[in-house]
Structure 1
Amino acid sequence: MRGGIALALELLGDHVRACIKKRGFAGLSPAQEQAIPLVLQKKNLVLIAPTGTGKTESAMFPVFDSLVKMPAGGGIRAIYVTPLRSLNRDILSRMEWWCRELGLKVGVRHGDTPMAERRKQALSPPDLLITTPETLQALFMGKRLRKHLEHVEFVIIDEIHEMAASKRGAQLAVALERLAEYAGEFQRIGLSATVGNPETIARFLCGARPCAIVQVPVAKQLEIAVHFVGDDFKHQVRALEQALDREGSTLVFVNTRVTAEALGHALYPRGDVEVHHGSLSKEIRIDAEDRFKKGEIRTLICTSSMELGIDIGRVDHVIQFGSPREVARLVQRVGRAGHQLNTISRGTILTTGFDDLLESLVIARRARANEIEPVVPEASAADVLANQVAAIAVEYGEIERSRIRTIVERTSLFAGSGTLLDDVCTQLEEHRLVRLDGSRIVTTARARRYLSGNLSMIHDERKIPVFDMVSRRTVGTLDESFVVGWVHTGAVFITKGQLWRVLEINDGRLTVEPAKKAIGELPSWEGEQIPVPFAVAREAGTIRRERTTGKYTQEKEGIAFADHVLSEMEKNRCKIPTDRLITFENIDDGVVCNVCAGHKSNEALGRVLSILISARYGTTVGIELDAYRILLRLPSEVRAADVRDFFLSLEPAHMPGILKLALKRTALFKWKLVQIAKKFGAIDPDADYEKISIQRLLDYFDNTVVQREAYRELLSGYMDVDAAAEIVRRVKAGEIELAIGPHSIIGADGILSSRDQIPPPTADQAVLATLKRRLDQDEVVLACMNCRNWKSRTVVSRVPEIPQCPKCGARLIAVLKPYEADTYETTAKKNKSPEERATEQRLLRSANIVLSSGKKAVIALSARGVGPENASRILATLADGDAFYREILKAERNFIQTHRYWS
C-alpha cells in the first residue's frame, strides 16, 4: 500500500506535492491512489467512493498538476459542475486555497452571480470555473464566453448519480457534446458516492467513448444497526434522545420536512439541535451548517438537503428516522459519518412500524452487500431535445439538422432515437421557436426569449399559498403538483408540522382550517416521500414468507418482533401476503389488495384496476396506496372476490394502453402536459395552469410528440408499468397466488400505520409557540389615563411587568392597537362627543385591567379582536402559562369566525 501512495504522489509535480504536504495530508486515500494515475493518463473516469475519501481531490490534484504546467491566461481550462448552488459555494471555499497556492484563478458562476463578476469572467476568465448544469447552458449564449470554452480540457461532474437520473442530466449530457464542438475532445471525470450500475453512468458521461471506472466499495466501511421503536411519538422521541446522548456529533436523517419540523420541535429544549431542509432560507441553512461545523450544536435533523457532500466537518454518527426507502439513500446518508480515512461509518435506523422494520432490514442487508439500486437515466426525453434544439439554433443562428443529430446522438440518451429529432423540429416550428429551411434549422427572435425563461429542465412549479382562516395568515405553500394531483375540498394534509383541512380551492389559493383528527384522513399521495423500489418490497415479502432467515441474524430483536406479528396473524387465521401471495380484504368502504411490489408498481396496478372497475360499474373509484397495499374505495356491491377476478383478467400487454386511457382525463395528466408544452415553447412559462382548458389541451396536442412525452414521463417516472406487468405475468404463470383473506393488521390497518403521522402529539405546542412569538412581536400603544399627556408605541416583548407613566408615575395605563393611537388625543378634550366619551370609557376600562394584571393584561389586549371585555374574561379564568395562551387563541378564533356578522 505504501508503494501505491508513493507512486501516486510521485506522478504529481513538485508544486502540487508541496501543497499536499502544506495542507497536512498524511497520505492518499485508496480512491486517490487509484484515480490520480488514470486522470494523469488523460483517461475519462467515473470514480465511485464513500463520502469523505477525498473524491474531489482525486480529480483535482492531477487536474491542478496539468493546469500549472499550462501557459497563463487564454480561457477556461477546467469546469467543475455540481447539482446545487450550495455545493458550488462549498467547492469554491475548498478550491480557493489550492488555486491561490498554485497561482491559478478560480471563479463560480450560477444564477445569483452578480453582473460585475460575470463581466469580469468574460474579460478575464478563470482557469477553473465552478458552475451548475443550468449555468453551463448559459455559457453557450455569449460570443466571448464561447471563445473561452475553446480551451476547456477537463470537465468534472460532482454527484453524477444525482443528475444522471433526471432531465437535468439529459440536458447536461447534450451540453457536454455542444462543448466538444468548441473544445474538441476533453477529459471527463464523474464523481459519486453511490452507484449500482457504474457502466451506465460511464456511458451517460462519455457516450461511446472509452471510460475507466474506479469503485471503492462502500460496504466495507459501513456499520448499520436496525432498532424498532414503535409508533408512539413520545416513545420515538425518547429513543432518539437516548441515541443522541452518546458522545460526538450526529446527523438525524428523516424522509420529509414535516418529520424534520416535528422532531426539531420536540427536541428543541435540548439546546443542541437544529433543523435543516430545503424549505428553509439559505441564510438559516448556512448558519446551521456553520454552527454544526464549529461544534456549537451537536445534532442536525435534516432531509435529503444534507445527503450531498456539503462540508459540515466531523460527523460521528448518522441516525435514519424511519425506513430510508432505498439502499442508495441509506449508503449516501450513513457514508457521511466517520468523515475521515480508514474510519467506519456508523449508522442506526430507528423503525416505527411493521412495514418500516422489514423494509429497513432488507435495505441494511443490501447496503452491507453493496447491492445498490441502478440509476436509470432519462433516455429520449422529447422536451429536453426540444430545449436543446432551440438552444443550438440560437447558438449558431442557423445549422444543418444533420449536425444537430450528430451532436445529440453522441450522447447515450439520444443515440438511436429514430424520428424523435424530426418530430421535435416539426413541433418547434409550429410554436415559432425555429424555422425549417430544407435541411437547415434557423433560429427565430422568439427562441432567444424562450431560452431566457427555459435554461433549466427543472419545471417551473408555482407555490400555492395555504391560507389559514383562523389566524388569517398564510401558513405556508404547497407545490402545484401536489395540489393539482391530490388535493380536493375536505382533504387533510400536513404542512408546517400541523394538520390542515381544505375548505376551498380558489384564485390560486387554498383556504384551510386546523384539523384535529389524523387517522384515515391523510391524502393518498406522499408528496416528498421516497418511493420504495420493486426489489426492496419483494424481499420484504420474502421475509414475511420465510421468517427468520440467516440473512438477518444481526437484527434478532427486530426479527423477533416481526415473527410475533406474523404468528398473531396466523393464530387469527389471517392469510399473510408475501412475495408469492397477493391477498384481497373487504373493508367498510372498499377492498385492500395486499401486493408486495413497491410504490411505482402498485401505482400502475391500482390505476389499471380502478379504470376497469370504473368502466364496468359506471362509478368513480378512489385509490390509496403504498409499497405493500392498494386500497380501492368502491361502491358497496363490489367486493374482494370481484377485485380478484379483475386482477386475474389483466393482460400485461394491455396495461400501458389502459393506463393512458386512465390518465387522459386526470388533473395530473393535464398538469404534466402543461409542463412539457412550456418546454416546447407552446405555452408561456408564466401561463396560469388553472385558466388553461383541459379539453383544448387534449385536442391540440393529441397524437403529438408533446402528448407522447407526457405519457412517457408519467408511465416511467410516476409508476413502473414494467414491474406491474411482471407481477401480472407471475400470477398467470402460477408463481404468485391470489387469495381472499379476512381483515388483517397488515392489510387495512397497514394503510393507516404506514403514513407519516408525526405531528398530532406536538401540534398544540407548536401552535401556542407561534402565537406567543407573534404576540411578543405585536405593536401596541401605551397611554396614560391619569395625566393624559403620555403615549408610547412599542412591541409587547419590551413592555415591563408593571407598566408606569414616566411623566406622572401613575400605573393607570391603557393599551391601544396602533390604528387606534389617534383616538387617545380626544381623551384630553373638555367637550367630548358621545362617541369620544365612549372611547374614553373603553380606555379607562383597559387601563384598570392593566392596573390590576400588569403585563399579562397588555398581552391579552394586544390580541386580534380582544378588547377590554374579552380581556377581562380571559384574565378572570386565572389561567397561566399555556392555558392563558389557549384562552387568547380561543378568543381570536371566535372573533375571526363571527366578526363578519357584527353590525
Structure 2
Amino acid sequence: MMSAIELLDKQIRNLLKRRNFIELSDTQEETIPPIMRGSHTLCIAPTGTGKTESAMLPVFHNLLNIEGSGFKALYVTPLRSLNRDILGRLEWWANELSLTVGVRHGDTTQYERRKQTLKPPDLLITTPETLQAMFTGKKLREHLKNVRYVIIDEIHELAGNKRGAQLSVALERIREYSGEFQRIALSATVGNPDDVARYLCGERPYEIVNIPVAPLLLVDVKYAGESFPEQTKGVEKEINTKDSTLVFVNTRVTAEALGHQLYERGDVDVHHGSLSREVRIDAEEKFKRGDLKALICTSSMELGLDIGHIGQVIQFGSPREVSRLLQRIGRAGHRLDTVSRGRILATGFDDLLESLVIVRKGLSNECENLELIINAADVLANQISAIAVEYGEISTERLKSIIKRSACFSDCDELLPEVCRQMAEHRLIRIESDMIIRTGRSRNYLYSNLSMIHDEKKVKVFDIITRRYVGTLDESFVVGFIFTGAVFITKGQLWQVIAIEDKMIKVEPAHRASGELPSWEGEQIPVPFEVAREAGRLRRTRNFKGYKTDSQSVKFAKEFLSGMDNSKSPVPSDKLITIEHYDEGVIMNVCGGHKANEALGRVVSVLLAARFGTSVGIEVGAYRILFRLSREIKAYEVMEVLKSVDPALLRGILQLALKRTAIYKWKLVQIAKKFGAIDADADYERISINRLTELFDGTIIQKEAYRELFSLNMDVSSAEKIIKEIQSNHTEISIGPLSAIGKEGLSSSRDVIPPESVSQAVITALKKRLENDNIILFCMNCRKWKSKTTVSRVPDDIVCPKCGARLIAALKPYEEENIRLLSKKEKNAEERALEVRYLRNANIVLSSKKPAVTAFAARGVGPDTASRIIATFAKGDDFYREILKAERNYIKTHRFWQ
C-alpha cells in the first residue's frame, strides 16, 4: 500500500524534501488519501499537526492538472487575520508550483480586487462574508464556474452559528455555477463529527479523519489563591518558567485587569478583539520576535494564527468548555513532534472543581457537541434576498432546491413561504405567481447585510498623548458609564476621559487608583450542563482520584467542603439543591450550568412575580441563581414553585416571561434589521421598542427571536430534567442560611491599582511623540525661506540660510497654506492679525529657541499658551507636563471657541 507522500506529484515530494519533511504527521498520513480519492473530507486533529498542508497538498497536486481560468479552489477562514496567516503559509507552495494565490476580504484594496476580477488566482483565500459579496459581481460569478475545491478552515467556528448557516447556503449557490466540487473542512475540536460533516456536505457521502488530541496534551490544574493580587503572582510565576507563554482568559475584562497588574514588567502585552488592528498586529509581531515573554489574550488567539514558538499555555480561570481547553492548550508547542503543555490556574472553589472536570473530559476526548443552526429565519431571509439580487428573478422551486441542499435548511418547506411573505411585506422581494423577483430595496439591503453577525456599534478610544487609537468600547458601555472625567480600563491601562466628540472618546492615561472595567456584551462563556453536573458529583463524593491536580489544590477543596460540614451547611451537588437566605432575597444553589439555570431562574422569577404581584430580580451563574425578592417572599415559596411547576409548561412560561425582558427586545431589533423591517443603520435608542414588540407579535421575526434565545441563551431541556428530578425525589431540596458556597455568588467589586511609573510613562510617550511631530520653520524677516522637518531635527540656534535672520516662526503642517498670505504686500484685517500672530510666534522662538518650537508642535498651543508654558521656567519632565496640561485644556474647551 502506498504511503500518503507517494500519492503526491513528484514536484510536491521534492518541495517537501526542501522543507525538511522527513515524514508526514499522523494527521497528514490519514487525511491526504481520502482527499486524493475525491472524497468530501472532515479532518479533526490537534492544533499544530499540519492540518493546512493535509488539505492543501492534495489540492495543489490536482490543481497542477486543471486547465482553464477562474478560481479553482476557495479557502474559507472565519477571520481576516487567519487569511493573512494562511496566505503566508501557502504562497511559497503556490509560487514554487507555478500556481497563483490571492486573498480577498473587507480590507483588500480596490486595485487588488480589480486584478482578481481580470485575472483570477487559482486559489482564493477569503471569508464567508466576502464570499457573499462575490455573488453580486457578474465577472466574479463567472470565475466561480471552475471551482473544484472548497476548503473551510476552523469549521467549528462556523458550523454552530448563523455565519455558518449562511455559508452552508453559499456552498450550494456555488454549485449552481461549478457543478459538484470537493468539500474539505478542518477543525481542532468537535464532539459530534457526523453532524459537522453533514453541515459541510448536506446529503452527500463523506469521510472523517479524527486524530485524538489527548495523547499530545500535558495539562493540569492548580489553585491560584483567593485574592486577585495572589492570582496575579501565580500567573507571573508561571510566565517566568518558560521562554514564551500565552495566557488565556475568558473575557476582555479579565485580560485588561491582568494586563494592568503585569504592565510594569514591560514584557507582557494584551491581545483581544476590541483593541485596534494596529495594536493587535504589533503585539503579535513582538511576541513572534521574542520581545514579549507573555501575551494575555482571549479567544482572539484560539485559532491557528502563527505567532512563533509558544512554550506553554496558561489558562487563567476555568476555560468553561472542554473544546476551548483543547483549542487553547493545543497552541503550545505547535510542532509535529511536540507535546502541548498547559496549566489551568483556578481562582476559587467552583473554578477549581469545574477545571478538574474539564481537564478530565479533555484528556478523555469528551468534547461538547456542536449544535447546527437549523431553520434560522433571518438567515433564510438574507439568502433569499441575496439569490434574488443574484438572478434578478428565480422560480420558487429552483430557490427551494438550492436552499434545501444545505443541512441547515433541509426541512424548510413550511418556513420558506412564511419568510417570503414577511420579506415581501418589507419590499425586499416581489412574489409573482411562482417567481421570486428582486426589488429596488433588495440590493441596498444586501450590501448592508452581507454578514449575519449582529451589528453592535463600537466607539473608538483615542489616546491624546500618543495620538493613536487604543481600542473600542461597546455603545452600551459608553452610554451607561462614560462621561468627561470618567476612568476606565482598556489595553491593560487606566484611562481618563478628556472629551467625547467626533464619534470618539478622547482619553489620557489616568492616575486614579480605581475605575470601571469595560464590559463587552455576550462574551461570557457558558458552562455546559454536563460539566456543572460532574462538578456537583465531585462535591458529593469528594473523590479527587484520577483528576489532574496537585495535593495543595485538593487540600484546599477538601478544607472548603469540611468548612461547610463544620458550619452544618449541606453541600449542594448533583443530587441536592440548597435554597439559602441572604439580605436581598435567596440564593438557589443548583449545579445546572449557565443555560439550564438561565431557563430555570426565569421560570421561577416569573411565577413568583405573578403570585405575589411584585418584581423579581435574578442573576444567573453555572452553580447558583440569585433572586432579589421583596421581604414577604422566602426560600419556602421558591421551593414550592420548583415542586409544583409542570415541566411541560416551561417553554410557554418562558415565552411569556421573555417578552418583557431587555434581551428579548434587543434580539427582536437585531432580527428585524436582518429582515429589512428596520434599516441596518437605525439607532435603536430612537426606536419605540414597545411599538415594535406589538408590531412583530406573532410574526416570523418574533418566532426567530424566540428560537435564537432558546437555542443560544437557554437549555430548556436540561431545566425540564432538573424539575422532573425534583418532583420524582431523585434530587432533594434543602433550605437554610447563607453558606460559603452561596457567598461565592455574591459579586464583589475590586479596585485595580495602576503602576507607580504610569506618570513617567505618559511623559515619555508625550516627549517621543512631540520629537517625531512635523514642524515648518518659516523666516518672518525675508519671508522667502521655509523648511519642513521634525522637532527632533531642529537645531538649538535657528538661522535663516537666505537672509541670516533669527526671526523664525514654528508652524504646524496645516498652517503651511497661510505662508502665501504672509508674503502678500497688501493684506486685509484678518491677514494682518495673522501676521501679528506669527511675528509673536517668531519672537518667542527667538528668545526661547528649541523649547519654543517643541511647545508650538503641541496640539492647540499658540503664542499665548506657548508664552505661559515658557513663563513657568519649567525644565525637563516638568516642561512636558505643562505642555500636557495645555493639550488637555484645548481638547476640553476648543469646541466652545468661536
Measured against the shorter chain, the TM-score band is 0.7 to 0.9
Partner letter of residue 156 of structure 1? I
Residues 423-458 of structure 1: CA deviation (Å, up to 9, x unaligned): 000011011111101111111121011111111111
CA gap 1:684/1:524 in 2 versus in 1, 3 angstroms: closer
Partner letter of residue 327 of structure 2? Q
Structure 1 residue 522: deviation in Å? 8.6
Structure 1 residue 610: deviation in Å? 2.1
CA gap 1:22/1:656 in 2 versus in 1, 3 angstroms: same
CA gap 1:714/1:467 in 2 versus in 1, 3 angstroms: farther
Identity of aligned residues (%): 58
Which of 364, 370, 373 is the aligned partner of 2:368? 373
Secondary structure of 1:442 counterpart = strand
Partner of 2:804: none
Which of 30, 43, 46 is the aligned partner of 1:47? 43
Distance (whole Å) between structure 2 residues aligned to residue 275 and residue 15 of structure 1: 42
Structure 1 residue 464: deviation in Å? 4.9
For structure 1, which segment, 267-276 or 87-96, has the greater mean C-alpha deviation from structure 2 after superposition?
267-276
Partner of 2:150: 155
Partner of 2:824: none
Secondary structure of 1:632 counterpart = strand
User: Does the CA-based 8 Å contact 1:575-1:742 persist in structure 2?
Assistant: no
Structure 1 residue 889: deviation in Å? 11
Which of 724, 730, 741 is the aligned partner of 2:725? 730
Partner of 2:817: none
For structure 1, which segment, 207-216 or 540-549, has the greater mean C-alpha deviation from structure 2 after superposition?
540-549
Partner of 1:835: none
Partner of 2:289: 294
Partner of 1:30: 26
1:692 and 2:692 correspond: no
User: Does the CA-based 8 Å contact 1:768-1:885 persist in structure 2?
Assistant: no
CA gap 1:387/1:244 in 2 versus in 1, 3 angstroms: same
User: Does the CA-based 8 Å contact 1:467-1:510 persist in structure 2?
Assistant: yes
1:61 and 2:57 correspond: yes
Which of 63, 70, 77 is the aligned partner of 1:75? 70
User: Does the CA-based 8 Å contact 2:865-2:886 persist in structure 1?
Assistant: no
1:628 and 2:630 correspond: no
Partner letter of residue 60 of structure 2? F
Distance (whole Å) between structure 1 residues aligned to residue 49 and residue 428 of structure 2: 46
User: Does the CA-based 8 Å contact 1:492-1:523 persist in structure 2?
Assistant: no
Distance (whole Å) between structure 1 residues aligned to residue 150 and residue 269 of structure 2: 36
Structure 1 residue 528: deviation in Å? 2.3
Structure 1 residue 641: deviation in Å? 2.0
Residues 496-543 of structure 1: CA deviation (Å, up to 9, x unaligned): 5579999x9999999999998989x99999742211111111111111
Structure 1 residue 417: deviation in Å? 2.7
Distance (whole Å) between structure 2 residues aligned to residue 894 and residue 542 of structure 1: 60
Partner of 2:329: 334
Partner letter of residue 43 of structure 2? L
CA gap 1:276/1:487 in 2 versus in 1, 3 angstroms: closer
Structure 1 residue 315: deviation in Å? 1.6
Structure 1 residue 195: deviation in Å? 0.7
Distance (whole Å) between structure 2 residues aligned to residue 511 and residue 578 of structure 1: 49
Structure 1 residue 21: deviation in Å? 1.6
User: Does the CA-based 8 Å contact 2:274-2:471 persist in structure 1?
Assistant: no
CA gap 1:336/1:671 in 2 versus in 1, 3 angstroms: same
Secondary structure of 1:761 counterpart = coil
Partner letter of residue 704 of structure 2? E
Structure 1 residue 647: deviation in Å? 2.6
Partner letter of residue 360 of structure 1? S
User: Does the CA-based 8 Å contact 2:766-2:880 persist in structure 1?
Assistant: no
Structure 1 residue 871: deviation in Å? 11
| 1:405-444 → structure 2 map (5 Å cutoff) | 405-444=400-439
Partner of 2:388: 393
Which of 535, 544, 549 is the aligned partner of 1:549? 544
CA gap 1:136/1:348 in 2 versus in 1, 3 angstroms: same
Partner of 1:141: 136
For structure 1, which segment, 611-620 or 174-183, has the greater mean C-alpha deviation from structure 2 after superposition?
611-620
CA gap 1:806/1:147 in 2 versus in 1, 3 angstroms: closer
| 1:311-322 → structure 2 map (5 Å cutoff) | 311-322=306-317
1:235 and 2:235 correspond: no
CA gap 1:586/1:500 in 2 versus in 1, 3 angstroms: farther
Distance (whole Å) between structure 1 residues aligned to residue 183 and residue 582 of structure 2: 57
Partner of 2:11: 15
User: Does the CA-based 8 Å contact 1:196-1:373 persist in structure 2?
Assistant: yes
Structure 1 residue 696: deviation in Å? 2.0
User: Does the CA-based 8 Å contact 2:43-2:210 persist in structure 1?
Assistant: yes
Partner letter of residue 733 of structure 1? S
Distance (whole Å) between structure 1 residues aligned to residue 518 and residue 132 of structure 2: 38
Structure 1 residue 189: deviation in Å? 0.5
User: Does the CA-based 8 Å contact 2:672-2:701 persist in structure 1?
Assistant: yes
Structure 1 residue 292: deviation in Å? 2.4
Partner letter of residue 25 of structure 1? F
CA gap 1:340/1:862 in 2 versus in 1, 3 angstroms: closer
Partner of 1:619: 614
Secondary structure of 1:155 counterpart = strand
Q: Provide the alpha-carbon RMSD of the alignment.
A: 4.9
Partner of 1:597: 592
Distance (whole Å) between structure 1 residues aligned to residue 626 and residue 614 of structure 2: 16
User: Does the CA-based 8 Å contact 2:135-2:141 persist in structure 1?
Assistant: yes
Distance (whole Å) between structure 2 residues aligned to residue 609 and residue 775 of structure 1: 59
Distance (whole Å) between structure 1 residues aligned to residue 585 and residue 159 of structure 2: 40
Distance (whole Å) between structure 2 residues aligned to residue 506 and residue 725 of structure 1: 50
CA gap 1:508/1:301 in 2 versus in 1, 3 angstroms: closer
Distance (whole Å) between structure 1 residues aligned to residue 354 and residue 542 of structure 2: 14
1:181 and 2:173 correspond: no
User: Does the CA-based 8 Å contact 1:275-1:288 persist in structure 2?
Assistant: yes
Partner of 1:837: none
Residues 169-222 of structure 1: CA deviation (Å, up to 9, x unaligned): 000000111111111111100100111110110010001111100000001110
CA gap 1:375/1:626 in 2 versus in 1, 3 angstroms: same
Extract unaligned runs of 5+ from structure 1: 782-792, 808-816, 819-845
Extract unaligned runs of 5+ from structure 2: 776-787, 801-811, 814-843
Structure 1 residue 377: deviation in Å? 1.6
Partner of 2:275: 280
Which of 100, 114, 119 is the aligned partner of 1:119? 114
Partner of 1:821: none
Secondary structure of 2:568 counterpart = coil
Q: TM-score, structure 1 length as denominator?
A: 0.83
Distance (whole Å) between structure 2 residues aligned to residue 212 and residue 617 of structure 1: 58
CA gap 1:611/1:498 in 2 versus in 1, 3 angstroms: farther
Secondary structure of 1:593 counterpart = strand
Q: TM-score, structure 2 length as denominator?
A: 0.84
Structure 1 residue 549: deviation in Å? 3.5
Structure 1 residue 765: deviation in Å? 6.6
CA gap 1:10/1:583 in 2 versus in 1, 3 angstroms: same
CA gap 1:747/1:302 in 2 versus in 1, 3 angstroms: same
Which of 167, 170, 183 is the aligned partner of 1:172? 167
Distance (whole Å) between structure 2 residues aligned to residue 886 and residue 508 of structure 1: 27
Distance (whole Å) between structure 2 residues aligned to residue 303 and residue 885 of structure 1: 36
User: Does the CA-based 8 Å contact 1:524-1:623 persist in structure 2?
Assistant: no
Partner of 1:718: 713
Distance (whole Å) between structure 2 residues aligned to residue 22 and residue 474 of structure 1: 43
User: Does the CA-based 8 Å contact 1:776-1:795 persist in structure 2?
Assistant: no
Structure 1 residue 597: deviation in Å? 1.2
Distance (whole Å) between structure 1 residues aligned to residue 22 and residue 336 of structure 2: 10
User: Does the CA-based 8 Å contact 2:192-2:369 persist in structure 1?
Assistant: yes
Which of 248, 261, 269 is the aligned partner of 2:243? 248
| 1:800-839 → structure 2 map (5 Å cutoff) | none
Partner of 1:669: 664
Aligned length: 867
User: Does the CA-based 8 Å contact 1:492-1:515 persist in structure 2?
Assistant: no
Partner of 1:353: 348
CA gap 1:508/1:620 in 2 versus in 1, 3 angstroms: farther
User: Does the CA-based 8 Å contact 2:45-2:211 persist in structure 1?
Assistant: yes
Structure 1 residue 645: deviation in Å? 2.1
